[in-house]
Amino acid sequence: MNILTLKRRHFDHGTYSTLHIQNGEQLCCIVERPWLNNQPNISCVPKGNYKLIPHQSPKFGICYALEAPTLGVTRYGPSLRTHCLFVT
């Protein structure tokens, strides 16, 4: 299993992150909404460990979905958050 590291910086206007592979090389940059207590559609996702699962979105096509049931994040629910997608 590949392990990816997400390095985050939180600001009032948003959350800015970089995703790194195991050797430390940066894979991509990520922009999310600010942390607002995990409220759906207005908050970035909570800190923690996630599975990154290939996903076919009707709106975005082939992408990746985050899943961490213990954090309330799944692809389809029921959960606090659904369809948290990485679109390339």
- Give the percent of the chain with pLDDT over 90: 50
Q: Is the pTM of this model over 0.95?
A: no
23 alpha-carbon distance from chain centroid: 21
| List of residues 6+ apart from 21 with CB closer than 8 A | 2, 4, 27
> Which token pair is 86?
């990485």
Q: What is the pLDDT along the chain (88 residues), one digit of tens a residue?
A: 577 888 999 999 999 999 888 898 998 899 999 999 988 889 998 888 888 899 999 999 999 998 999 989 999 989 989 999 988 7
